[in-house]
Structure 1
Amino acid sequence: RDILKHELAHYLNFLEHGQVQAHGQEFRETCKRYGFPDEIALASMNLDTANLSKEGDIDSERILEKVKKLFQLAASSNVHEAELATVKANALLLRHNLDRAHLKNDEAPIYLDRVLVQKRKDAKISAVYDMLKHFIVKTVISHGKNSCCLEVSGSITNVKLAVYVGNFLDKELEHLWVTAKHAHGLQGLRAKNSFFLGIAKGFDQKMKQAKANLSVTDRRALIVVEKDLTDRTKMIYSRLSSSRTNNNFDSHAGEIGIQSGKNLSIRPGVEGSSKKLYLEYSKS
């Protein structure tokens, strides 16, 4: 519970003050305001050590390693081989979730981590928000004081993989933009934003096609898994609102982005930098 309170205090502090010193004056004031014990504010716990028992899921680690190896194949210059590896990686993750769903473990905890911490919301964070939904996690764009970030929550396996993928996409979308800009003569923020949103749309179409190739039984099971994720993350996010406008959309850049999204493969080599404890929530 102390670990949970400590991370919750960090989260509340981020919402109120944005990116500030980890255990500075703002953090201590947040702990005091919410009535947390002194040891929480003093950060006297070794969070990495305390979290070992929670992160030591051997089955989850095994699945992650297999998926990452498939991502290595997805870096192949052979388009067909890269596409097949991406589909296999997604299928492996899906099978892992379907197998876990059969266990019907209502006590399994929900984990949360953050990626793409930046000053303000933009088209790239919106694109990654949409793309990470295909990795069976709840995605939320969270706004703090003078900052925002992308939060992902779900099982520990899915959250770790989503952070891994999110960090990759953060760099890859910029790389794809530079390539498209020179190849197609694109320029300006409007074109760049439309290109990013197009990538998300193309990736969405690609992943939906992969899911359509599942058996009827697996498609039904996936619906159950996704509904369970939605129901359980409501405990964390009880009230959400969203807004998006495409009034300033560049259709030409968007179409180029769609094709890039359809061809996008997740490649290894961008490990998430976060070593913090995941915010854990489970029914009591």
Structure 2
Amino acid sequence: MTADLKQLSIWDDPPAAPDAGALRSSFEHRVLRGLVAEWENALWLLPDSLQRAVRKPFFAIRNLPGRLGCWSPEKREITLSREMVDSGRWDDIKEVLLHEMAHQVAHEGLRATSEKDHGEHFRQACRLLRANPSASGTYLPLHTRLQQGESLDNRDRIVVKIHKLMALAESSNPNEAHAAMRKAHELISRHNVELIGRGADQDYHSVFLGAPRRRHFRETYHLADLLQEFYFVQGMWIQAWVLEKACMGRVLEISGTLKNVQIAEYIHAAVCRYIENAWADYRRGKALTRYRQTDFSIGIIEGFKTTLQQARTAAAGSRGAQLPVRIEDHALARYVDQRYPHVRAISGRVRRHDPRVLADGTEQGKKMIIAKGITRSDGFKERVLEYKHES
């Protein structure tokens, strides 16, 4: 054996675990690389003249009490709050980054050197970058606000009714539970149709569903289609930094009103948990691959979609309902078009599926009951999902 090779025996001390400082440094290094990648990605939204005028800045993560981030013209540095980076999701981090990048563009590209921090040139830069002009100071990111729950006005009777119906969907009687869930979906649809039909002024928001990944399985696209078809949100697969892999990947971002984003995020999480529980039960004692898990998951989503389609058809055909089978929210479409002006279609190779596993998943999906999608005080903190295995 040559002298430069060393074998560890069972008597040797195990390798020292990395200390907290090393782990912190590694984590922040990956975040900083992500900030650079997201900055470069956003630069393409600017006109050519501004792209040439704006140079890549330095990036830093520091303790910033009471602030989410800042742009320093003197240092040419974008700094993000360590507290926000530690506790935030990547869409929250990206939102603050774009806000600070807008300050940089206003200063270096639009030459607004003597303007107030949030003046007209800054707002122009925000429009170009699709940045949130409010994402600074004590601003709470959308996901934090959703977690804390939206305080609903008691006068919003339609939402209160939906809450009560979602509570009824906890019933141990399957027929009663399904009827309550279908009625709740009908009221959600009726509420949105009425707002869209009269052209009500609405604010739209965007949030990531799940974490950015290099690869997404086919069931994630089916679930995205379900949310877009039934829950009055619009989905877009966008590029985003995958922190664990230290590279760019993709993530589903949904856009809609605050209430609809809240409902859609709840449904997304509930369906994913249902699939996880149902698959663990279904695969027990079977030699099934990851591809069969995709078949089963798609079946569950399609089975649940059947329930929603039946609710929609029944509502549209009921006496005096005057509820269309589908309605287009043109204002939401304009919001998404403005947010993402350059869109291209993506496609992938569809693998062969197991029709038996797909059919079993579809039957299981028809039994799914989702309850408590909205409450008056605690948003979607209480997530109730009924999963029953029937032998």
State TM-score, norm by structure 1: 0.72
Partner of 1:139: 235
Q: Does 1:265 align with 2:369?
A: yes
Contact 2:222–2:298 (CA under 8 A) maintained in structure 1? yes
Q: Does 1:96 align with 2:166?
A: no
Contact 2:373–2:380 (CA under 8 A) maintained in structure 1? no
Partner of 2:304: 203
Contact 1:126–1:197 (CA under 8 A) maintained in structure 2? no
Contact 1:199–1:259 (CA under 8 A) maintained in structure 2? yes
CA distance in 2, matches of 1:127, 1:60: 36
Partner of 1:84: 179
Q: Does 1:237 align with 2:237?
A: no
Q: Does 1:157 align with 2:259?
A: yes
Partner of 2:209: 115
The 3-state SS of whatever aligns with 2:252 is strand
Q: Which moved more, 1:118-127 or 1:91-100?
A: 118-127
CA distance in 2, matches of 1:156, 1:29: 22
Partner of 1:47: 139
The AA in structure 2 aligned to 1:76 is: S
CA distance in 1, matches of 2:38, 2:315: 44
Partner of 1:73: 168
Q: Map 1:3-82 to 2 at 5 A.
A: 16=38, 23=80, 31-32=100-101, 35=105, 44-48=136-140, 58=153, 63-82=158-177
CA distance in 1, matches of 2:174, 2:152: 34
The 3-state SS of whatever aligns with 1:253 is helix
Contact 1:64–1:161 (CA under 8 A) maintained in structure 2? no
Partner of 2:45: none
Larger radius of gyration: 2
The 3-state SS of whatever aligns with 1:215 is helix
Per-residue deviation at 1:44? Answer: 4.6
Taking only the aligned residue pairs, the percentage that are identical comes to 21
The 3-state SS of whatever aligns with 1:213 is helix
Structural RMSD (CA):
4.0
Match of 1:255 among 359, 364, 377: 359
Contact 1:173–1:196 (CA under 8 A) maintained in structure 2? yes
The AA in structure 1 aligned to 2:105 is: G
CA distance in 2, matches of 1:171, 1:14: 34
Contact 1:195–1:254 (CA under 8 A) maintained in structure 2? yes
Per-residue deviation at 1:246? Answer: 2.8
Per-residue deviation at 1:186? Answer: 6.0
Contact 2:206–2:255 (CA under 8 A) maintained in structure 1? yes
Partner of 1:7: none
Q: Map 1:179-194 to 2 at 5 A.
A: 179-182=281-284, 185=286, 187-194=288-295
CA distance in 2, matches of 1:145, 1:152: 17
Per-residue deviation at 1:35? Answer: 1.6
The 3-state SS of whatever aligns with 1:77 is coil
Contact 2:166–2:181 (CA under 8 A) maintained in structure 1? yes
The AA in structure 2 aligned to 1:94 is: S
Partner of 1:168: 270
Contact 1:137–1:159 (CA under 8 A) maintained in structure 2? yes
CA distance in 2, matches of 1:32, 1:154: 25
Per-residue deviation at 1:175? Answer: 0.8
CA distance in 1, matches of 2:191, 2:315: 14
Larger RCO (alpha carbons 8 Å, 6+ apart): 1
* Change beyond 3 A, Cα 1:176–1:131: farther
CA distance in 1, matches of 2:234, 2:222: 14
Contact 1:60–1:157 (CA under 8 A) maintained in structure 2? no
CA distance in 2, matches of 1:75, 1:258: 21
Per-residue deviation at 1:194? Answer: 0.9
CA distance in 2, matches of 1:272, 1:143: 27
Q: Deviations over 1:148-171 (max 9, x none)?
A: 332211122211111121222232
Alignment length (residue pairs): 256
